[in-house]
Each structure stands twice: as structure tokens, then as C-alpha cells.
Amino acid sequence: MFSFDDVVEDIFGNGKYVVLLIAIPYYGMVVGSFLLTGAVFLGNTPYSRCYIDPFDNKSSFPNLTEDFIKELFIPWNPNAEDYDRCKRNLFEDVGLCANNLNSTCISQLVNSTGVSVVECTDGYVYDRSIFDSTIVTEWDLVCTNGIANAVSSFAFYLGLFCGSIVGGILSDRYGRIKVFRVAPIFIFISAFCTAYSPNVYFYSVFRFLTAFFDFVSIVAAFSFVAEITKKNWRIAIGLGFNAIFGAGCMILSLLAYAWRDWRSLEIAISVSILPLVPLAWLMPESPRWLCTKGRLAEAKKICVTMAKRNGTELSADIWRKAEKNFEPAGSNKNAKTKNINSLRETFSRPYTRFFIVADMFVWAITSMVYYGLILNTGSLVGNIFINNAIGGLMELLADTVAIPVISFIGFTRTKGYSLFIASVTCLASTVALQFGSHIIAVQSFATALAMIGKFGASLAFGVLYQHTVEMFATVGRSTAFGLSMMAARIGSLFSPFTAQTNYEIPWLSPTIFGITSLLAAIISLTFRETKGQELPTTFDEAEKKFKDHLQGTVTAKIFCLPKVSGNIFPNADEKDQKKSWLSE
């Protein structure tokens, strides 16, 4: 049976031109990693405490040490096992020691005056040994205002959510490359404006717009790359997108180390977007997309050019088959396809419905854990630049080893085991910190566990892309993938708030990540293996595959899946398939 993959195989040749075209979206993914993980540095929350007037005035009290001030004025927080960041001791008559602040006077002060614990009233003092400024230090986004930092990250992930929906619609309607050419312009404008935000509200709006246009660009680029790549390259190229993201995280650590002021770092990130603007104009439109739109002459011209630059030529016989396959929009074949509501067909079949809901759940949890671990990088013990670079390295390694691992044990077990790794390491790091939070060796061990968890989440994330595409029917594949991506964006929306809890309840977010990852791992192990199998074409074919895989299992009984599906053949044009199935 002919498909456009035959054309791709015919014009692929030595693949040099295709590699060049793929390199441009890959660079876009590097820039995307700057934008997405930039919050680790832009929104970093350094150690802070209440400003104590007048004793934090170094011109008046140059000899007072930090430890001395904390011991006298900052109460102990038993939950965080550290000095409180949001409260201070208020003595009735601190003026008694204003000019004679020594141990004798302090003893008399504590014993002779009343003391109460109050919120910070005169601002905050920040540790500026790592960063000159972040949005937290500039706008005092700590304590009661700390939620604003989480909201700014929420705005970014909301932009990713909206971009994932709109990006697919725009690239399907107007073309992959038209969208990819326009999006970087708006990414640059919104990212550059972010650097000049007067307050956290403008910052959140510009971060939303940056994420929105970035994901519009990524969706278009991912579709383009998949459509010009031959079949036996797709897994490697798809995982390569995630691997190059990890490389970008490592580069970002270098940029953040060079620019310690958040505005300067954001400008540097925005400037890195500019090369995409001219590079995108070097890329031709996806010939596969042009064929689906009936623009065969344009598609042929591009295929001829691609073949020539790949050191081969387009076969006349192959192209005649392509022209025959892509009939005019008014044909009966395309009319039937147009009349199918893929969303309704997906949810009308019990086994397909179970697997799409389960897949969406696994996507949501994996995304929450993945982005949560990224945002948690700033709270880990150790150098934040090295930690972020190691996290990127884990991403790179995970997607590199995914290819041979999938070849050996398949998609299902690779995904399930990697989520188990994320779960166990998150829970183990929590236990380690609870029983040895003040021991350097234990803190370093917990950081190592968190990085292994990042490896597991990254590996699961990379596998999810390809496994989702292969599980569902061709006629509903884009719908299934779109639903899964939407679920992933919903999961990522919770990441900023789970990370924000670290400052009050350090064990909570890794516990959430560990438990939910365990549940996602168990569910993902029920998925149908697709390695080396034919991809289902129709909804009924996919339903049969799902039913054969799950029928009679404990999972089918727990979720009350029927032994014989109900009305799973709602289309009149699939009666022949129904007869053949029932006769088996």
C-alpha cells in the first residue's frame, strides 16, 4: 500500500540536505531549553531573612556578623529546620542595646524585656553571593509574596498549554514552515520585553507570550521533521529533540554563570533567538503537508529540489503513485475521511477510551515530575550551575540510551521502569533528607538521587512521544497525540506550586513526585507494546489490538472493561471489518 513514506525514501539519498534541515529546528530546541529552564536562574530564591533596622545598617554597625543577628532577632523554624525566613523577634525596648550591642547587653535585653514574633516589617536581606539579582530579590517575592514567583512560572506553563493547542491548529492550516518563520519573531519580542518588565505582573504576561510562541514553533518544527524523515530514522530523530534540550540546559548554565543579573541573562537568551529568524527562511514547506492540501505541483517542485540536494532524483513512477494517492478534496475517499469525527470515535470505543485516558494521565504525571525536578534544581544542595548542567546531562544521556533500551525491552517496559526509577529516587531522597538534612554527605547523596530521578523522568518523557504515536490508529493519531500533549501541559501547570512548597515543607514535593510516578509506572506497564508491530490504520483495528492485549487481565476487570465491546463499529463503511472480527 502506497504512502508518502515511499516518496521520502525515494528522495532521501545520502540524507545530507535533510540533516541540514533538521539542524535548524534542533537549534530552535536549544533556544527553547533556555526559555523553559531559565526560571531556575531568573526566579531563583536565595536565602533570605527579615531586615533588622538599624542593626543591618553596616555603616552604623559594621562589626555585627550574620550569625550574631540571626541568633538574636530571627526565630527558629522547626519545620524547615533553619532560621525563619519570614518572621523576626521584636523586643519591647531594643533601644537598650542600640549603642552597646554585646553579649552582656543582649542577655539583659532578653531577660528584662518582652519579646514577640512578628512578620517582616522593614523588608528583607538576601544572600547575593551567587546572583546579583533575580526577580525574587528585585520584587521581594518571598513569604506572603512568594506565590507571585510560582504564578509567574504558572503563566509560562499556561503559555505552553495554549501554544500546544494553537500550534497544531495553525501549522495544520497554514503550513509548518510559515508558522516556524513567524513564531521566532514574536518569541524574540516577548523575551526581550521580559528583560525590561517593571514588575512581576508584566513579567508574567511576557513569560506567557514567550512560552506560547515558543511552543507554537516547537509543534510546527516537530511535525516538519517527522514528515521529512524516513521511518527508520524517526525514533532517533524524535529522541534527539529531547537530547538536544538537555544539551541546551548545559549551555544555559554557562550563560547564567556569565550573567548573574536576571535582566542581563534574559537579554542574552532573547538574542540567542535571532539566528532562527533568517534560518527559518532557508527551509522549504513540508511536501507531505502540501500533498494533503492538494498542492501537488508545489510539493513535486520541493521534492525534486530535496532529491537533488540529497544526491539523488525523484522517481517519476513514485510521484505518479503519489499523485494518484492524494486525490482532489472532493473525492469520495477524502469525503469519508472528512466525515469521521476522530475525537468522538476515540472515546466511543471502551478499550481505546481506557488507553487514551490512561495515556493522558501518564503524560500529565510525567510532565509534572519532569518540570518539577527542573524547577527544584535551585533548591538542591550544591552549586546551582553545576546541578543544572548535570540535570541537562541526565536528559542527554536518557535520550541517548533510550534507543538501544527500546530495541532490547520495548516501549512499554522502558517507560514503566524509567518511571519506577523516578519514583524510587524521589522517595529515597526525601527519606535521606529527613534523617540527615544537616549532614553534607547525606545532602549530596540526596542531590545525586534527584539527578537519577531526572534521568528516569527524562527517559520516560522521550519514550512517551513515540509510544503514543504508535499505539493509536492513523486516522486518530493526531487527535490522540494532541490530547496527550494537552494533558502534559496540565501536569506542568502544577510544577511551580509543588516546587514552591520546598521552602516551608521540604519533603512534600519529592513525596508527591514519588507517589504519583509510582502510580503512573504501574499504569504504563498495562500499555500495549508496539515495537516491531504494524501500526493500526482504522479505529476498529486499534480497538481490536487493545482488546486482545487487555482482555481477561486484572486491569480489564478493575476498570470493568467489557468482554465483548458494545457499539464499537459506528461507521457503516467498516461493516466488513466487523464481520471479519466476529468470525475470528
Instruction: Find, among 22, 75, 379, 532, the residue nearest to 226 by Cα.
Output: 22
Show Cβ contacts of residue 289 under 8 Å, excluding neighbours closer than 6 positions.
Answer: 172, 175, 176, 223, 227
Whole-number Å distance between alpha carbons of 236 and 250:
21
Most confidently modeled range among 68-77, 407-416, 457-466: 407-416
**How is residue 369 written as a grid cell?**
515530575
Share of the chain above pLDDT 90, in %: 25
Considering only 97-101, 248-252, 289-293, 506-510, which range has the smallest mean pLDDT? 97-101
Distance of alpha carbon 571 from its chain centroid, rounded? 37
Domain assignment present for residue 402? The answer is yes
My answer on whether 220 and 313 are in the same domain is yes
Domain boundary residue among 328, 362, 389?
328
Q: Among positive and negative, which fits the CA dihedral 254, 259, 260, 262?
A: negative
Q: Examine residue 54 and say whether the peptide bond preceding it is cis (omega within 30 degrees of 0).
A: yes
Determine what percent of the chain is predicted with pLDDT higher than 70: 83
348 within a domain of the structure (yes/no):
yes
Distance CA 449, CA 163 (A): 33
- Residue pair 476/539 in contact (Cβ under 8 Å)? The answer is yes
Kindly indicate the confidence band of residue 402, based on its pLDDT and cuts at 50, 70 and 90. confident
Whether residues 177 and 285 share a domain: the answer is: yes
CA distance 485 to 433: 34
Do the bridges between strand 124-126 and strand 115-119 make them parallel or antiparallel, or are there none, so unpaired?
A: unpaired
Give φ, ψ of 89 to 5 degrees: -80, 135
C-alpha distance from residue 82 to each of 308, 396, 444, 509 (Å): 67, 35, 18, 18
Are 417 and 512 in a shared domain?
yes
Q: Scan for cell 477510551, then name that residue.
A: 353
Residue 284 binned pLDDT confidence (cut-offs 50, 70, 90): very high
For all residues of the chain together, what is the average pLDDT? 81
The structure's pTM equals: 0.77
**Pick from 43-52, 182-191, 384-393, 496-505: least confident:** 496-505
Tell me the average pLDDT across 170-199: 91
The one-letter amino acid code at 400 reads T
Separation of CA 111 from chain center: 54
> Please, which residues have CB within 8 angstroms of residue 508's CB and are 6 or more apart in sequence?
498, 501, 502
Residue 319 falls within a domain, yes or no?
yes
Domain-embedded: residue 435: yes
**Residue closest to 161 by CA, chosen among 211, 99, 231, 229:** 211
Q: Is residue 475 part of a domain?
A: yes
Domain end, chosen from 328, 354, 372, is at 328
CATH number, position 498: 1.20.1250.20
Whole-number Å distance between alpha carbons of 237 and 525: 25
The pLDDT value given to residue 576: 41
Q: Both 217 and 311 in a single domain?
A: yes
Whether 333 is covered by a domain: the verdict is no
Q: Give the per-residue pLDDT at 23.
A: 93
Q: Could you tell me which residue, 544 or 576, shows the higher pLDDT?
A: 544
pLDDT for 307: 92
Please give the full DSSP string across 435-481, using - where no structure is assigned.
HHTT-HHHHHHHHHHHHHHHHHHHHHHHHHHHHHHHHS-GGGHHHHH
Q: How many domains does the chain have?
A: 3
Task: Looking at the structure, tell me whether residues 219 and 78 fall in a common domain.
Answer: no
Residues in contact with 423: Cβ distance below 8 Å, sequence separation at least 6, in sequence order: 456, 513, 514, 515, 517, 518, 521
Rounded average pLDDT over 177-199: 94
Place of cell 499523485: 323
Cell of 51: 531586615
Q: Tell me: the pLDDT tens digits for 191-223? A: 999 999 999 999 999 999 999 999 888 878 877
Task: Give the per-residue pLDDT at 327.
Answer: 65
Q: With bands split at pLDDT 50, 70 and 90, how would you rate the model's confidence at 281? A: very high
How distant, in Å, are the alpha carbons of 189, 348, 512 from that of 516? 38, 28, 6
345 shares its domain with 465: yes
Least confident range of 113-127, 246-260, 346-360, 436-450: 436-450
Whether 80 and 42 share a structural domain: no
Task: Give helix 234-258 / helix 384-436 axis angle, nearest 10°.
Answer: 90
Residues 58 and 78 in one domain: yes
What is the radius of gyration, based on Cα positions, of the chain?
Answer: 28
Same domain, 275 and 294: yes
- Expressed as residue numbers, the domain containing 368 is 339-584
Nearest to 125 by CA among 57, 184, 181: 57
Phi-psi region of 382 (alpha: psi -120 to 50; beta: other; left: phi over 0): left
322 and 380 inside one domain = no
The pLDDT of 118-147, averaged and rounded, is: 90
Residue 27's pLDDT is 94
Q: Which three cell numbers stand for residue 355?
A: 488507553
Check: CB of residue 190 under 8 Å from CB of residue 205.
no
Which domain-ending residue is among 328, 358, 392? Answer: 328
Q: Across-strand partners of 77?
A: 82
Clarify whether residues 299 and 411 are in a common domain. no
In a domain, 334, yes or no: no
For residues 262 and 364, membership in a common domain is answered with: no
